Amino acid sequence: MDFLQPVLNGFTVVLDPTNLLYCLIGVVIGMLIGVLPGLGPAATIAILLPLTYGIEPVTAIIMLSGIFYGAQYGGTITSVLLRLPGEASSVVTVFDGYMMAKQGRAGTALGIAAIGSFIGGTVAIIGLTFLAPLVAGFALDFGPPEYTALALLGILLVATISNGSKLKALIAAGIGLLLATVGRDSFTGAERFTFGNLNLADGIDFVPVAMGLFGLGEILHSLEERHRAASVPAKVGNVWPSRKDLKQSSGAIGRGSVLGFFLGILPGGGATIASMAAYAVEKKRAKNPERFGRGAVEGVAGPETANNAAATSSFIPLLTLGIPANATMALMFGALLIQGVTPGPQLVENDPELFWGVINSMYIGNILLLMMSIPLVGIFIRILRVRAAILAPVTALITMLGAYTINNSMFDVLLVVFFGAVGYLMKKFGFEPGPLVLAFVLGSLLESSLRRSLLVLDGDVMGFFSRPISASLLVVFVFVAVLPLIQSALRRRKAAAQALELPKETV
């Protein structure tokens, strides 16, 4: 009962009328952002960060969390009806969801996606409720060496597991670490990389970096991509799936819930990887895999369940270890720091109202999303008709105003413009901004933990391997770092062997 008491107290926090209102606002904005292609939850959270200054910490995080998991629902609508994924995690849903819509089963696809999303999200919340305190209790044994190893591993995993070029991801992470060193040295007070500019003496603020890279950068990039031809939305019929559809998709929903939950916990994981993995699993398990891509209901149920489960479980490493699992969680980390809350193992003990209030708000948010996901389809389709030429300038103006209101400083606005240009160029040349932001957020933790560790260990680097937890994390770090090299060598050997066999076959 001692364990259940703070959980029950968390519900009293959520059921406060103000928190309920902001939970509703968050999930509605999330669904809206999920529908609009090009402007994902990371960009939206970055743009709205200045608004959280005047809100209570628990209320602000409840709203931002709602935006994150609400976007997973919204992205399904355009994937099914327009063959246009509104969110990266909904790309896989296009394969079978749009084919179902062409067959006159758009309502069934949306209905099964809503049910799967609700079940996946709820299963992940239950897992989060029981697993997060255990992880936090385990993490209480962490000292500076353990945090050093964990921060290193988190940055490396995000850089190597993320989509796209691994080399480009590592370069982006390296730039993020360099940006984290700007400002006064916390140990000696010496200024680093400020170039005599007093505005940089306290370092680069997280908010302008996030608003520039994700907000303005995404807006500029999506404007360039607006040449996509407009599609006519498919008609939505009966949204309640038949008994056959429910039976056919029940296994996919169960597997997607478990797979998404565990992939969401991993650094570098998240909703997009979970949805792709769930689709691959369902296709491999199917007796007739040729059905996939032609309107298989499991091809919608599995990925949609997995991406919502992963979106929820990615809060575990953030709240319990203080390590963001993906780019959106890095923004949530920044939002917590802005509110004076430090995520980590002490959060459960020091601020149980915020910890359990945020977790329990997801139960309410999931129910709200299930109730609204289908009735609001018509409104969201009309919103898609708003031209990007109108929407983008308005969003950019809101971003600039938000940046100025942080410190009433034009320097922050200039930083947003600078990082907006950087974000646009990164997108254009295939660099993901996620590893940069994650490394920037974790950079200060990595530096301070490393220097404290060296002080504790009297400068002996091998001391990291004398502690079981830090040694284990560093072994995993080395394995992850070396694995791509091993895989590359094996591929070259396989290609060379095939090249040698080819002449024999031709003879």
CA atoms within 13 A on the CB side of 381: 18
Place of tokens 């996901």: 373
Confidence label for 20 from pLDDT (cuts 50, 70 and 90): very high
> Which CA distances in Å does 183 have to 174, 178, 190, 261, 464?
17, 11, 8, 38, 28
Positive or negative CA dihedral for 212, 443, 163, 93? negative
| Predicted local confidence at residue 403, as pLDDT | 76
Q: From CA 175, how far away is CA 181, in angstroms rounded?
A: 10
Q: In this structure, are residues 434 and 272 in contact, taking their beta carbons and an 8 Å threshold?
A: no
- Range among 8-17, 386-395, 481-490 rated most confident: 8-17
Nearest to 317 by CA among 492, 461, 134: 134
For the chain, the straight-line distance linking the first and the last C-alpha, in angstroms and rounded, comes to: 77
As given in the structure block, the two tokens for residue 316 are: 């575990």
pLDDT in tens, 205-246: 877 887 888 778 877 877 776 544 445 455 555 567 778 888
pLDDT in tens, 397-453: 877 877 777 677 888 889 989 998 998 898 888 888 878 887 887 888 888 888 889
Where does residue 234 rank: exposed (0-12), middle (13-18), buried (19+ CB within 10 A)?
Answer: buried
pLDDT in tens, 316-328: 888 887 878 777 7
Residue type, 442: L
| Predicted local confidence at residue 229, as pLDDT | 45
343 — phi, psi (to 5°)?
Answer: -65, 145
As given in the structure block, the two tokens for residue 497 are: 């062997």
Nearest to 449 by CA among 475, 469, 479, 478: 469
**Which is it for strands 183-184 and 191-192: parallel, antiparallel or unpaired?**
antiparallel
Cα 145 → chain centroid: 27
